[in-house]
């Protein structure tokens, strides 16, 4: 299995009160020619397929749209706070400011979307890249084959530091995405003893293939690394 592309279903309904969704999707297509878009569904969902770097461009585009709306709301609230406060009470049942609750006092925030296999490899072999530093905090949420990494200013980060950390992660993601592959050894028809023998074989081979990441799971073992090394490792197992 080679990291080539991913398919994601985007829920565009969050924009329906501010944009004509058909026009917004058309803008997305123009801004992201490397992605393939399915038809816009009646519930506001649209399927998108493409590479992770291309998805990052799309993510940045949508975040800019969302921030523009939040800033517009903030400006309008300053002009007519009573009207907006009443509208939020009707929509959300509270007076909590959406922008402040999302960003709080912690400042800048950036998001990077990665293939989970690439993220696991990065986290194992490049741990300092994902530890955060100088007031920057990095967190992650994994959903199957996709991991979302959040880079934010926890207070005290230098100007541009959050963007710098995000760029480092993106640069390594592109390098690894183009060079890594993943092999899966399935346990579908194996007995408990056979599974243990496979796991022990992988453990013995780790020292000979230090750049291959072994990820043991209940139903399979995943091997992530350079194609030639993963192939040799799998054959020896």
Q: What does each of the 237 residues of the chain score in pLDDT, given as a tens digit?
A: 556 677 777 888 878 877 888 988 888 888 888 888 888 888 888 888 888 778 888 888 888 777 777 666 656 555 544 443 333 333 333 322 222 223 433 467 888 888 888 899 999 999 999 987 778 889 888 877 788 888 888 877 777 888 889 889 988 988 888 788 889 888 877 788 888 999 999 999 999 999 999 999 888 899 999 989 999 999 999
Q: How far apart are CA 237 and CA 235, in angstroms?
A: 5
**Of 161, 181, 177, 109, the residue nearest 139 (C-alpha):** 109
Q: Which CATH number fits domain 109-178: 3.30.1370, 1.10.405, 2.40.50, 3.40.50?
A: 3.30.1370
pTM, to two decimals: 0.59
Cβ atoms of 119 and 149 closer than 8 Å = yes
* Domain regions of the chain by residue span: 6-64, 109-178, 181-236
């Amino acid at each position: 299995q080679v990291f080539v592309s991913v398919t994601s279903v985007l829920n565009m309904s969050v924009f329906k009160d501010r944009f004509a969704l058909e026009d917004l999707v058309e803008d997305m297509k123009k801004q992201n020619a490397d992605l393939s878009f399915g038809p816009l569904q009646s519930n506001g969902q649209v399927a998108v397929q493409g590479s992770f770097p291309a998805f990052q461009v799309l993510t940045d585009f949508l975040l800019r749209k969302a921030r523009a709306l939040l800033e517009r709301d903030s400006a309008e609230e300053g002009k007519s706070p009573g009207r907006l406060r009443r509208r939020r009470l009707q929509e959300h049942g509270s007076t909590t400011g959406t922008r402040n609750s999302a960003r709080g006092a912690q400042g800048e925030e950036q998001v990077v979307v990665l293939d989970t296999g690439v993220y696991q490899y990065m986290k194992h072999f490049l741990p300092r890249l994902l530890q955060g530093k100088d007031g920057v905090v990095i967190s992650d949420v994994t959903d199957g084959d996709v991991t979302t990494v959040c880079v934010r200013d926890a207070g005290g980060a230098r100007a541009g530091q959050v963007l710098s950390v995000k760029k480092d992660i993106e640069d390594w993601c592109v390098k690894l995405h183009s060079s890594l592959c993943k092999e899966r050894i399935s346990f579908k028809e194996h007995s408990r003893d056979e599974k243990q023998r496979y796991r022990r074989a992988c453990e013995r081979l780790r020292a000979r293939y230090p750049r291959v990441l072994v990820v043991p799971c209940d139903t399979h073992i995943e091997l992530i690394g350079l194609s030639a090394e993963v192939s040799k490792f799998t054959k020896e197992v």
